[in-house]
Amino acid sequence: MHDHRKLGRELDLFDTDPLMGAGLPYWLPDGAIVRHTLEEYVREAERAAGYRHVYSPVLGKRDLYEISGHWDHYREDMFPPMDLGAEQVVLRPSLCPHHALIYRSRSHSYRELPLRIAELGGMYRAELSGVLGGLTRVRAIHLNDAHIFCTLEQAVEEARAALALIARAYADLGIRASRYRLSLPGEGGKYVADPRLWRRATALLREVLDSSGIDGSGIDYEAAEGEAAFYGPKIDVQITDPAGRESTLSTVQIDFHQPERFDLHYIGPDGAKHRPVMVHRSVIGSVERAVAHLLEEHGGAFPTWLAPVQLAVLPIAQAQEERAHEVVRRAVARGLRAEVSGPGDGTLGARVRAARLVPYQAVIGDREADAGLAAVRLRDGRRPGAVPVAELLERIAARAADRGAELWPAA
Ligand SMILES: [Zn+2]
């Protein structure tokens, strides 16, 4: 059974330092490569789906969260406010209020809708130190977030498209949803009170779930009370770790509350002001939780396109070391991530074992060096044999580009 905290340390991906503080992990170079590649993947998928990216600050005035309702309904999860002259500023508990202000900063015609604003940004949660650990319970969270401002008529289609984006990402990442959950409010004052808006949003989310899936015939889900956001119901895409613990990775929400609170509007075809609907969605959730889950799901053997090192080049003896470095230079020039592990790092057997999570290994002896070949070994144990270096690099680049799982498809 894989524990992402143990793997993260063994593979030099991330760590924590008591002086930085509990729940505030830092990312080492190999971990940063995985995170960066994941972030670029999401941004590109969003760009292709019509999202526009923004940046907004991780702090906001306390007044902002009073308007959004976080101050009343979510304060115990927030960091205490900081006094700054006559003002108080707060580390933000979510990106929604900032995106609402960005929308409100310009006037919008119905012709611009749906307007999809995306940001992979930081947010903060004052978790108690007793529950912190690894990447799954952290105080600084980097969320793949977006808010779609649209008409009521567009909301179901936008939420459905977000679910499709999530399904596509899970396929590319080699992970799967364990179940879909429709999260509804429970008892208590945690939720904003407006039964009419709750009912309307819940009905729309049921419509989304009932018309999603491969052929639009609906996806199975379970309703759960007490799991909604304070301002509205949501669809949670659940994942299960190897110990059987379930958590939420991705979410889709239809929200009538924030547009009211921030008095958002667009100009309709009738020339009058109308209230937009806000669809909140996250495709891969936070990068912290996503990488933790990827680590545990794959046991550290990331899909080729995400692997910190995609090709390990292993010269048998010192005589082939220069040749090995040349292979790495060619791989890097092609945009691949490759490293030499030479005789100074141990016996060939030890180096093969050390690189066991690297998808491709190229062993170079005298015969290969002279002929421009590499003896290929795959992470799954197969040995396709000696192939021209150019062909090997071509195959790795193709795999990284199409994100396929098969390391060595038949030519
Ligand atoms: Zn939001």
Residue ranges of the domains in the chain?
4-298, 304-402
For the stretch 165-183, what's the b/e string if a residue is b when 16 or more beta carbons lie within 10 angstroms of its beta carbon?
Answer: bbbebbebbebebeebbbb
The predicted structure's pLDDT at residue 215: 79
CATH assignment of 4-298, among 3.40.640.10, 3.40.50.620, 3.30.930.10, 3.50.50.100: 3.30.930.10
* Residue 68 pLDDT > 90: yes
Least confident range of 32-46, 81-95, 220-234: 220-234
Nearest 5°: CA angle at 110, between 106 and 113? 80
Distance 391 CA to ligand 1 centre (A): 46
The pairing of strands 360-364 and 14-15 is unpaired
* 372 neighbors 280 (Cβ within 8 angstroms): no
Instruction: Give the chain's radius of gyration (CA, Å).
Output: 24
Residue 252: strand, helix, or coil: strand
**Could you tell me which CATH number the domain at 304-402 has?**
3.40.50.800
Structure tokens of 346? 């141990």
Residue 206's φ and ψ, nearest 5 degrees, are -65, -40
Distance 356 CA to ligand 1 centre (A): 40
Region 116-125 average pLDDT: 97
Region 32-53 average pLDDT: 98
Contacts of 296 (CB under 8 A, 6+ apart): 2, 3, 4, 7, 241, 242
The predicted structure's pLDDT at residue 124: 97
Going by C-alpha positions, the residue among 284, 411, 400, 278 that lies closest to residue 337 is 400
Structure tokens of 222? 């379970």
What is the secondary structure of 24-62 as a DSSP string?
A: --EE-HHHHHHHHHHHHHHHHHHHHTT-EE----SEEEH
Distance 145 CA to ligand 1 centre (A): 7
Least confident range of 141-150, 186-195, 247-256: 186-195
For the stretch 201-224, what's the b/e string if a residue is b when 16 or more beta carbons lie within 10 angstroms of its beta carbon?
Answer: bbebbbbbbebbbeeeeebebeee
The predicted structure's pLDDT at residue 147: 98
* 403 neighbors 310 (Cβ within 8 angstroms): no
The predicted structure's pLDDT at residue 37: 97
Amino acid 1 reads M
Region 63-92 average pLDDT: 95
Residue 150: strand, helix, or coil: strand
Q: Sign (positive/negative) of CA torsion 251, 257, 261, 263?
A: positive
Going by C-alpha positions, the residue among 288, 311, 309 that lies closest to residue 300 is 309
Q: For the chain, give the mean pLDDT.
A: 95
Model pLDDT for residues 322-374, shown as the tens digit of each residue: 999 999 999 999 999 999 999 999 999 999 999 999 999 999 999 999 999 99
Distance 9 CA to ligand 1 centre (A): 32
Quick one: pLDDT band at residue 15, thresholds 50, 70, 90? very high
Highest mean pLDDT among 124-133, 213-222, 388-397: 388-397
* Residue 242 pLDDT > 90: no
Distance 69 CA to ligand 1 centre (A): 12
Distance 101 CA to ligand 1 centre (A): 12
Distance 44 CA to ligand 1 centre (A): 20
The predicted structure's pLDDT at residue 132: 78
* Residue 262 pLDDT > 90: yes
Contacts of 282 (CB under 8 A, 6+ apart): 143, 144, 145, 146, 250, 251
Quick one: pLDDT band at residue 224, thresholds 50, 70, 90? very high
Secondary structure percentages of the chain, helix, strand, coil, to 5: 40, 25, 35
Quick one: pLDDT band at residue 10, thresholds 50, 70, 90? very high
The predicted structure's pLDDT at residue 133: 77
* Owner of token pair 């062993």: 363
Structure tokens of 68? 């959004």
Share of the chain above pLDDT 90, in %: 88
Torsion angle (degrees, nearest 10) of CA 361, 367, 370, 374 = -20
* Residue 64 pLDDT > 90: yes
Distance 278 CA to ligand 1 centre (A): 8
The predicted structure's pLDDT at residue 236: 96
Is the omega angle on the peptide bond into residue 384 within 30 degrees of 0, that is, cis? no
The pairing of strands 266-267 and 273-274 is antiparallel
Distance 218 CA to ligand 1 centre (A): 25
Distance 228 CA to ligand 1 centre (A): 13
Distance 22 CA to ligand 1 centre (A): 26
Contacts of 251 (CB under 8 A, 6+ apart): 234, 235, 236, 237, 280, 281, 282, 285
Region 176-187 average pLDDT: 93
- The CA distance from 352 to 374, in Å, is 14
* Residue 169 pLDDT > 90: yes
Share of the chain above pLDDT 70, in %: 100
The predicted structure's pLDDT at residue 273: 98
Contacts of 238 (CB under 8 A, 6+ apart): 177, 178, 179, 180, 181, 246, 247, 248, 249
Taking CA atoms, 77 is separated from 8, 70, 92, 131, 189, in Å, by 27, 9, 11, 13, 15
* Residue 186 pLDDT > 90: no
Region 376-392 average pLDDT: 97
* Residue 96 pLDDT > 90: yes
- The CA distance from 33 to 39, in Å, is 10
Amino acid 346 reads G
The predicted structure's pLDDT at residue 156: 96
Distance 262 CA to ligand 1 centre (A): 13
- The CA distance from 260 to 275, in Å, is 8
Distance 270 CA to ligand 1 centre (A): 29
Residue 346: strand, helix, or coil: coil
